[in-house]
Homo-oligomer: A and B are copies of this chain.
Amino acid sequence: MSEVSRNRWANEFREWFREVIFKAGVYDYRYPIKGVGVWPPYGAKIRRNVVSIIRKLLDETGHDEVLFPLLIPEEILKKESEHIAKFESEVYWVTQGGSERLERKLALRPTSETAIMEMLKLWVKAHTDLPIRIYQIVSVFRYETKATQPMIRVREVTTFKEAHTAHATMKEAEEQVQVAVKVYKEFFDEICVPYMISRRPEWDKFAGAVYTIAFDTLMPDGRTLQIGTVHNLGQNFSRAFDVKYLKPDGTHEYVYTTSYGISERAIAALISIHGDDHGLVLPPNIAPIQVVIVAIPYKGHEAAVYSNCRDLFEELKEAGIRAFLDDREDITPGEKFYYWELKGVPVRVEIGPKDISQGVITVSRRDTLERMRVKREKSVEYISQLLMRIKHDLRERARKWLKGKEHEVNEINEARNIISQGLGVALVPWCGDDECGQELEELIEGSILGIPMDEHIECKGKKCINCGRKAETYVRLARTY
């Protein structure tokens, strides 16, 4: 993906995104409700692969999958006051069953802290019941009043992975936050999405949290996209829901809870960051089809070509590679190339009479569009390794690209320029005062993502970019989605 094309996208990125997810069959936003879409087969397969990755990571780190109800009674959603204050304006309410008016309104979950706390109250009795680490992958709903955008700002978030944990001490909750951050790092590395980890400022933390650590990525148009959050909820929810446990010393204490979530924005990010003017570029572990074989039949050589293709197809399948043999006869090889490039299949193989006579196959990388000829007898081994290399290259290229988009600056106009021109993220020294921070956001017409948690920048001797007082820390500034 060249810088040229990326720049060209800056203005047109949203249009490009809409077009590519629709044409490639990832997501169909023509469903007749605003902000709500359909995952057709190809997109659903991508989604399934991404979901398996996070599920595996959570299963391996002591999390248990559960399933909680969609509906949350009004009085339960309202128990934690900061929480409802934030969510109240964007909750969908069920008020009617059949033709009857319900006695009490039921919310479509905007997130499940409240539903889960209600059950934890029944599940947690003593310290031996702790810790509890559970997660679910469900739809959540937000009545967005802002402009919606497919997969990115939606009213039905169809792929919300939310984890919830409860602990005996604040220290254990803190440790769990670190576990969550580690799991998310591995997850985003695995799906080749680069990230910045920032501790959100006070005014931008999750409603009801003690603090929030967020993962943001950068989209081709220069805006950051929040793709994951980890919240330490302290005892805020356990007090509101009266979730206490019996300590070994016979006294009771409120539990400490955390929650952390990711959504289909992870998929939107990987599509946005790796795609190009030809369409999707999928990391091999996410791609529903990893290798497509396109027969190049010349008159008189059809039988040999097809049989060669079929053999390779069987060999690849045998090796555990998700291969597909495109033997359609009603469209040309050129049309097939175009079709599979749009779909983002990582590797394309062409086999024609010339390849056969020379004992080779022609292999193309979707990410670099390079073509190479490979000895037929080594092709399975070559392709296996190529798939791994592509994944590695995608991840590293994107990581480097993001790194290059973070600009350390000490001057407010410079910071505003960077973010207003879509050049990326500005790293600036800040005093740490909430009022000053919110003023700063207005001045730069952007947001404070927060204090970097993934890198340390020495701010000794620096002055706050806004008020000029002694800087306490560097913070990231950006235009956000």
Chain A, range 81-117, C-beta contacts under 8 Å to B: 88-100, 105-106, 108, 115
Assuming the contacts A31-B69, A156-B69, A156-B71, asked whether A95 and B98 have C-beta atoms less than 8 A apart, the reply is no
Closest to A264 in B: B67
Check if A385 is an interface residue, CB within 8 A of chain B: no
Check if A30 is an interface residue, CB within 8 A of chain B: yes
Q: Within 8 Å CB of A105, what residues of B?
A: 96
Stoichiometry, copies per complex: 2
Question: Chain A 57-85, CB within 8 Å of chain B: the 1/0 string?
Answer: 00000001111111101001000000000
CB distance from A290 to the nearest CB of B (A): 17
Cross-chain contact A71 with B39 (CB below 8 angstroms): no
Assuming the contacts A69-B38, A70-B139, A73-B32, asked whether A97 and B106 have C-beta atoms less than 8 A apart, the reply is no
A40-48, A205-213, A270-278 - the one binding chain B: A40-48
Closest to A132 in B: B41
A41 to B131: give the CA distance in the assembly, Å: 14
Cross-chain contact A89 with B96 (CB below 8 angstroms): no
Please classify how large the interface on chain A is, using the bins under 10, 10 to 19, 20 to 34, 35 or more: 35 or more
Check if A119 is an interface residue, CB within 8 A of chain B: yes
Cross-chain contact A44 with B67 (CB below 8 angstroms): yes
Closest to A55 in B: B48
A30 to B68: give the CA distance in the assembly, Å: 12
CB distance from A56 to the nearest CB of B (A): 13
Question: Chain A 136-180, CB within 8 Å of chain B: the 1/0 string?
Answer: 000101010100000000001010000000000000000000000
Check if A220 is an interface residue, CB within 8 A of chain B: no
Q: Within 8 Å CB of A90, what residues of B?
A: 97-98
Check if A134 is an interface residue, CB within 8 A of chain B: yes
**Besides A39-B66, A39-B67, 12 new A-B residue pairs in contact (Cβ under 8 A), listed by A number:** A30-B122, A31-B115, A33-B71, A41-B134, A48-B65, A69-B156, A69-B158, A70-B108, A90-B98, A92-B106, A94-B95, A97-B143
